[in-house]
Amino acid sequence: MKIIEKIVDFILDQYKALLLIIAVLFFISAYLVVTEIKVENSLKIWFLDNDPHYGAYLDFQEQYGNDDIVTIFAEYPESAICEESARDAEYIKSRLDSLDFIDKVYTVFSADFLNANDFELNIEQVAEEAPQTDSARQEIINRLNSFPVIKNTFLTPDQKGHVIIARLKPVDQIENKRDELIRDIKAIAQDVYPEVNMGGIAVLTEALNRRVAEETSVFTSLSYLIIIVLLSFFIRKRRYLLIAIPSVIVPIAVLFGIFVLAGYKLNMISMIIPTILLVYSIADVVHILNIYILYGQIYKTLPKRDIIKKSLVYSFIPCMFTSVTTMAGYVSFTLSPFQALQTTGIFAFLGVGLAFVLLYILTAAGLMILNVPEDEKEWGISLYFEKLNLFISQKV
């Protein structure tokens, strides 16, 4: 108990310096979270590095090419088989071929087909150059009619729209560049088609990651709003919300600042970490503040600092054991073979420990700074529970 008292005394003696340090950490972390945090739902995080199925998938891609493609769709007023579309397609193809994450680019004009001449089979392109005459256009159309697979792959039924297909390099070489590669491909396509339409697995994955990030922002904001409303019910004096809210929010921001600095990205599992910390932090801060209010009523003659110290010392061990047991549960995630669960376990473990430390410092500093009149009216759901307990005890 003496060690706990020394820790609490140190916090109360140095709360201004500690508060300044935490404020600096919070603003740096908040900036990093807003500007740098990214979402990753790549295939790799769901497999072991030595997983035979994942290894076989990578070997297949290395040998036969990636099945992950990006498609660019363009439409022309009369026909996609024209000089303009051929030059546009060639420009986009040459630009895309120069990108290091592109394996091969296919257009309706550069597609290969087997041509039989003089009893020989030759692999030729549908069009060696842009069709400048009607006869050249008709020759390409006739050739495509002879190879319906190529025609149906690259042209719409009315032949006014055509597709450019970019095949990406094997997934292990591009996994961490998806956002960048989609952005670069789109920029090249927009040089020719300002209102470009794109498709493919990579485009869908990038859009999913972006949507998840947007939904996470909305969900997190709503969570904070709900937490504030709930805190207003569970804390007996509303002015203590000025202590409770920062004590809940700051640890999460600081943790994700560390998360970003460590080079990690959010995934579908690690997104639950803020909710975990919210629940844990609320339980602790409500417990500490209610103990302080109760001790303030019991020890009315003691100085404010002594009441704060008694409250923090009394609540230290219960809150610490809650933290330790919770941390032990999440550290077990690191034994999982999956990277996504390992990351979640590590940062949930760090987050709970960090929340315990920061919450105690912030609550202590807030109680030292904030002056709440003794006659301020109490409210909150805990008062109704007390009345309910009193009613039941009288009736039983």
Q: What is the DSSP string of 228-267?
A: HHHHHHHSSSGGGHHHHHHHHHHHHHHHHHHHHHTT--B-
Question: How many whole angstroms separate alpha carbon 123 and alpha carbon 131?
Answer: 20
pLDDT at 396: 46
Q: What is the pLDDT of residues 155-178, one digit of tens each?
A: 888 888 888 888 888 766 666 677
What letter would DSSP give residue 270? Answer: G
Question: How many whole angstroms separate alpha carbon 187 and alpha carbon 36?
Answer: 22
Question: How many whole angstroms separate alpha carbon 396 and alpha carbon 390?
Answer: 10
Q: Average pLDDT for residues 205-230, to the nearest whole number?
A: 76
pLDDT at 124: 66
| Higher pLDDT, residue 172 or 287 | 287
255 falls in which pLDDT band (50, 70, 90)?
Answer: very high
Query: For 2-44+206-395, which CATH superfamily applies?
Result: Multidrug efflux transporter AcrB transmembrane domain (1.20.1640.10)
| Higher pLDDT, residue 120 or 309 | 309
Q: Which residues does residue 126 pair with via DSSP β-bridges, in sequence order?
A: none
What letter would DSSP give residue 46? Answer: G
pLDDT at 42: 67
| Dihedral of alpha carbons 355, 356, 361, 364, sign | positive
394 falls in which pLDDT band (50, 70, 90)?
Answer: low
Question: How many whole angstroms separate alpha carbon 246 and alpha carbon 81?
Answer: 63
Share of the chain above pLDDT 90, in %: 10
pLDDT reading at 281 higher than 90: no
Q: What's at 6, amino acid-wise?
A: K
pLDDT at 120: 61
pLDDT reading at 237 higher than 90: no
Share of the chain above pLDDT 70, in %: 84
The residues spanned by each domain of the chain are 2-44+206-395, 69-199
> Can you spell out the DSSP letters for 305-327?
HHHHHHHHHHHHHHHHHHHHHHH
Residue in this structure with the two tokens 């094997």, named with its chain if needed = 170
Tokens of 39: 């979402």
Q: Average pLDDT for residues 265-281, to the nearest whole number?
A: 82
Q: What's at 162, amino acid-wise?
A: H
Stated as kind and residue range, the H or E segment containing 161 is: strand 161-168
pLDDT at 142: 82
Please write down the long-range contacts of 313-322, taking CB distance under 8 Å and 24 or more positions apart: 313/1, 313/4, 313/5, 313/8, 315/284, 315/287, 315/288, 315/291, 316/4, 316/7, 316/8, 316/360, 317/4, 318/287, 319/284, 319/287, 319/288, 319/356, 319/360, 320/356, 322/280, 322/283, 322/284
Is the pTM higher than 0.75? The answer reads no
Rounded to the nearest integer, the mean pLDDT of the chain is 80
350 falls in which pLDDT band (50, 70, 90)?
Answer: very high
Answer whether 362's CB lies under 8 Å from 355's CB: no
291 falls in which pLDDT band (50, 70, 90)?
Answer: confident
pLDDT reading at 24 higher than 90: yes
Q: What is the pLDDT of residues 120-130, one digit of tens each?
A: 655 666 777 77
Q: Average pLDDT for residues 353-365, to the nearest whole number?
A: 91
Q: Which residues does residue 164 pair with via DSSP β-bridges, in sequence order?
A: 72
Question: Strand 120-125 relative to strand 102-106: parallel, antiparallel, unpaired?
Answer: unpaired
Answer whether 99's CB lies under 8 Å from 55's CB: no
Answer whether 105's CB lies under 8 Å from 167's CB: yes
75 contacts: CB under 8 Å, gap ≥ 6: 156, 160, 161
User: Torsion angle, CA of 96/99/103/107, rounded to 10 degrees?
Assistant: 0
281 contacts: CB under 8 Å, gap ≥ 6: 247, 248, 251, 252, 355, 359
